Amino acid sequence: MEIPKQYDPKQAEQHHYERWEKQGCFAPEINRDENAPPFCIVIPPPNVTGSLHMGHALQHTMMDVITRYKRMCGYRTLWLPGMDHAGISTQLMVTRELKKEGVSRYDLGREKFIERVWKWKKESGGQITKQMRREGVSVDWSREKFTMDEDLSNAVREVFVRLYEEGKIYRGNRIVNWCPNDQTVLSDLEVEKIPQAGKLYYLRYPAKNGGGSVTVATTRPETMLGDTAVAVNPADERYRELLGQTLLLPLTDREIRVVADEFVDPEFGTGAVKVTPAHDPNDYDMGVRHNLEQVVVIDSHAKMTEAAGAEFVGLDRYKARTKVVEKFEELGLLEKVVDYEFSISKCERCKTVIEPLISTQWFLRMDELRDDALKLLAERKLPQFVPEVPYEKVYSNWLENLRDWTISRQLWWGHQIPAWYTPDGEVFVARTEEEAKAKAGTDDLTQDSDVLDTWFSSQLWPFSTMGWPEKTKDLDTFYPTSVLMTGRDIIFLWVSRMVMMGLKFVGSEPFADVFVTGTILDAQGQRMSKTKMNGIDPLEVFEKYGVDATRLKLASVGSTDIRWSDKQVESYRNFANKIWNAARFCMMNSGSAAVDPKSLTSSPELALHDRWILSRLNKTARDVREALASYGFHEAVQTLYHFFWDDFCDWYIELTKTDVSAEADSPQRSAARTRLLSVLEQALRLLHPFMPYLTEELWLRLPGIGSQLLHPAYQSAEPTIMLAWYPEASAALIDETVEWEMQAVIDLISRVRNIRSEMNIKPGEPISLLVGAPDEKLRTVFSANENQIRRLARASEISVSERLEAPKASARAVLVGGAEVAIPLAGLIDFGQERQRLNKEKEKLAAEATKLEAQLANPQFAERAPAEKVNEVRERIADIAQRSAQLDQTIANLE
RNA sequence: AGGCGCGUAGCUCAGGGGUAGAGCACUACCUUGACACGGUAGGGGUCUGGGGUUCAAAUCCCCACGCGCCUACCA
């Protein structure tokens, strides 16, 4: 038999994926059952510029586990892959490439630039799709989509036009987040607030009449050049007289009013606020309320405009700040400067400080869409978040406070806005240029040069990828999808928007469940990030420990944040090797036996350990299915790990060795071999969604595998474990009595081993066992399993009787049900040591008894606790009393 | 400023009103015919602290401390 002693993950990872893909195992069409229920996941499309990181590996593992599981359960399964065109990232990447050639995108022009991006995409984009194949993800590559594909772009235009026609999309002149570096507007979600140490400047503005003045506090003195008012709280007594008065704005010849506004907090600063409607979102709102002029003093490159005055025009905003402060000081109008920590808005991508600017952009009105999403959650509890706490609240709170969304971007790479202008500025929104021309009645049109926010197309992903707005078969079959699995960072950016769009355009929710994964942190508990360089490359982990071991680790992460540790992957690598060697044993001892699921039915003639492993196997299938039904990945992994290692390897293989490796051929021997192989085969199926490569590698080697093991929906497919029927628990095979009996045997063996170890009896030293069991049933169990006990406890002989009669020079232990075991140790026993060992045991019992007795002594306990609990405590006390008595006896006998 | 989560063995983490768990690490023994990436047996925890509810709290509630995360228009 030529099976290596160590599992080689790389070898197994080499060929199966290609075979699966070629044979169409990933496509839903492999399922020939017309009535098969659908199961569908759409992948959160990674950026075309991206490469695989731990977050992907984590999410992909969980999606793959569920997908493979559902497929094995006979669902018509689709996991749809694809990529996002990632507007800004991609444009920056290509721009950088061009820069190396000494060319700017403007030199190239829009059309050539976009051609260049496509060329880049074709040649070096989408690295991630190759890396994903290594992960073993069972996505249907034949349906792979890209947000800039022709059909997805159609969907984008369709949605845009319909929303425009309904008045939800509008063009407006508003204050927006502007990135002076990327030269584009950004949505609120693409801006991050970073706390920063700064200064608060107190500036004095003289009043026009009389010698008075007002002091305002600001973090941005340079914006004072654009001030058009000072605001105070109407309830603020201090400024009552000032209301309606006129101030002389220093450094300018402008006169500004003092207005009253509730927004102003009298407690902060001086209680008077300078108002710069053109350069601050709050001031903008105040400006609207008080009909204030908007004086633009900073331009799109964050330089001062002409309106800032001759002295300042052309200055960078920070240079202007210094200069403004200097001037105020010269004029004696700078009251003070204090240290002040505040949050500053930065561009999420390039970290440039955002400049709030007034600009004409396209917006999407969110109120109705938002209300529908909230209604869906309130009335039908969709989507169902897992874990529900805290994500359901996070999601609904955000929706409740939602503002209109700035959807235009001043980029070239993306979906160009389907709006055309006549020379005199009239706008026509249409699906195509032809349609626009027809509407406008002229050919002289110019298309809006902006593109849409990348998320505008991603929000359509669950249905645009399935052919919407056409009524396709996929859409009919797979929408709404089953579950969305993602990290918590895009609940707002993506999840909520998909819900709103799904409701709006398909009329139903895009997915039933949203499973939110945890975050993998580095060993110090910090988030992995490119800038910190603390990321762990999943491909390196695959290389070192194998894909399956890594997947098992990732699957067990679930939804909590976790610090990365190679150690855990290593232990799953060991587990993989354990599985390999268990299978190796089964196959080396299989002879002419073959896998046969029919051998997995119980009958009273079967030995205890056989009935036991069937019970354990079925319980495992039940528990794993239950765990996966509620996305309990961690629990599923633990259940499988312990079933395979503890139950199957440590006990069952050991217990069945005599049967399986008997010298002489017999019906019993071949039945035992068939059973062993079949239990293994079932275990491999249970493990397959988590460890696809290892299980396939082994499964294909098992004797007797074939199409007959596949789920009926896949009967015509080539044999592969990924299409085998996922084991289903049979309640009839779960037998608590059998498990209890087996546990008694296991306990006996463990107690004997414990004595051996504590008494320093060499493993080779022959011992004999005397077992006393007043309970007849227990005696039967022990007697029936004499051979097993002898072998596993390494005893040369064993005798079971009603009452224990053993020589004084024996080591003893008390077992369940009043049973006892004694090991005669004439000449070997150290009485002192044995007494010590027994006393230690007695102390343990005594401590437990004290606790229980105190509980029982409490009259309230007997009165109020359920009778069942009270009885349980009584029984335990009785059991402990019996054991203690036996121990006392044993200790006394030692003398 | 609000909201949320976390604090359990040396480490990384499960669990969660009724006997405190796993893996790794540690100790001792074992090259036993599947596997030393292994086997057997052990040691190790006032479940952050303090109150409360309850017959019973690691678990539920409140407070404190520590650590994270998210949201926010306080100049």
**Whether the predicted pLDDT of A201 surpasses 70:** yes
**Whether the predicted pLDDT of A447 surpasses 90:** yes
**Distance, angstroms, CA A778 to C1' B24?**
38
Q: Which nucleotide is nearest to A583 (CA to C1')?
A: B34
**Distance, angstroms, CA A395 to C1' B25?**
41
**Whether the predicted pLDDT of A830 surpasses 80:** no
Handedness of CA A781, A786, A791, A795 (dihedral sign): positive
**Distance, angstroms, CA A309 to C1' B14?**
66
Cβ of A654 < 7 Å from strand B? yes
**Whether the predicted pLDDT of A502 surpasses 90:** yes
**Distance, angstroms, CA A873 to C1' B46?**
23
**Distance, angstroms, CA A318 to C1' B16?**
56
**Distance, angstroms, CA A81 to C1' B9?**
43
Instruction: Give the residue with minimal CA–C1' separation from B37.
Output: A574
Q: Which nucleotide is nearest to A648 (CA to C1')?
A: B34
Give the percent of chain A with pLDDT over 90: 73
Average pLDDT over residues A569-585: 96
Cβ of A279 < 7 Å from strand B? no
User: In the 5-34 stretch of chain A, whose C-beta falls under 7 Å of nucleic acid strand B?
Assistant: 5-7
**Structural tokens at position A90:** 């991609």
Kindly report the length of chain A: 895
Look-up of token digits 């050639």: A101
3-class SS of residue A620? helix
**Whether the predicted pLDDT of A575 surpasses 90:** yes
Contacts of A68-72 spanning 24+ positions with Cβ under 8 A: A68/A138, A68/A688, A68/A689, A68/A692, A68/A722, A69/A628, A69/A689, A69/A726, A70/A39, A70/A482, A71/A31, A71/A39, A71/A138, A71/A722, A71/A723, A72/A685, A72/A688, A72/A689, A72/A711, A72/A722, A72/A723, A72/A724, A72/A725, A72/A726
Instruction: Give the residue with minimal CA–C1' separation from B75.
Output: A218
Distance CA(A31)–CA(A29), nearest Å, equals 5
Q: Which DSSP string corresponds to A428-490? A: EE-SSHHHHHHHHT-S--EE---EE-HHHHHTTHHHHTTTTTS--HHHHHHPSEEEEEE-GGG
**Whether the predicted pLDDT of A827 surpasses 80:** no
**Whether the predicted pLDDT of A325 surpasses 60:** yes
**Whether the predicted pLDDT of A5 surpasses 60:** yes
Q: Which nucleotides of B are covered by protein (CB under 7 A)?
A: 3-6, 11-15, 18-19, 22-24, 28-30, 32-42, 54-56, 67-75
User: In the 51-80 stretch of chain A, whose C-beta falls under 7 Å of nucleic acid strand B?
Assistant: none
Handedness of CA A240, A241, A246, A248 (dihedral sign): negative
pLDDT at A809: 81
C-beta separation of A179 from A350 below 8 A = yes
- How do residues A43-60 score in pLDDT, each as one tens digit? 999 999 988 999 999 999
- How do residues A618-650 score in pLDDT, each as one tens digit? 999 999 999 999 999 999 999 999 999 999 999
Cβ of A525 < 7 Å from strand B? yes
Cβ of A750 < 7 Å from strand B? yes
Distance CA(A716)–CA(A311), nearest Å, equals 82
Burial-class residue A726 by CB neighbours within 10 Å (0-12, 13-18, 19+): buried
Cβ of A740 < 7 Å from strand B? no
**Whether the predicted pLDDT of A484 surpasses 60:** yes
**Structural tokens at position A464:** 């645009």
**Whether the predicted pLDDT of A153 surpasses 70:** yes
**Distance, angstroms, CA A389 to C1' B9?**
29
Look-up of token digits 């605001």: A231
Average pLDDT over residues A575-591: 95
**Distance, angstroms, CA A558 to C1' B5?**
15
- How do residues A81-93 score in pLDDT, each as one tens digit? 999 999 888 998 9
pLDDT at A895: 64
Q: Which nucleotide is nearest to A231 (CA to C1')?
A: B75
User: In the 323-382 stretch of chain A, whose C-beta falls under 7 Å of nucleic acid strand B?
Assistant: 342-343
**Structural tokens at position A99:** 């820069």
Tell me the H-state helices in A589-708: 608-629, 633-642, 654-660, 667-687, 692-701
Q: What 8-state DSSP symbol labels residue A4? A: -
pLDDT at A578: 97
**Which of A733, A591, A616 has the alpha carbon at shortest distance from A674?**
A591
Round the average pLDDT of chain A to a whole number and report it: 92
Distance CA(A549)–CA(A541), nearest Å, equals 9
* ipTM for the predicted complex: 0.95
Instruction: Give the residue with minimal CA–C1' separation from B56.
Output: A861
Query: A800: part of which helix (H) or strand (E)?
Result: strand A795-801
Cβ of A576 < 7 Å from strand B? yes
**Distance, angstroms, CA A394 to C1' B71?**
9
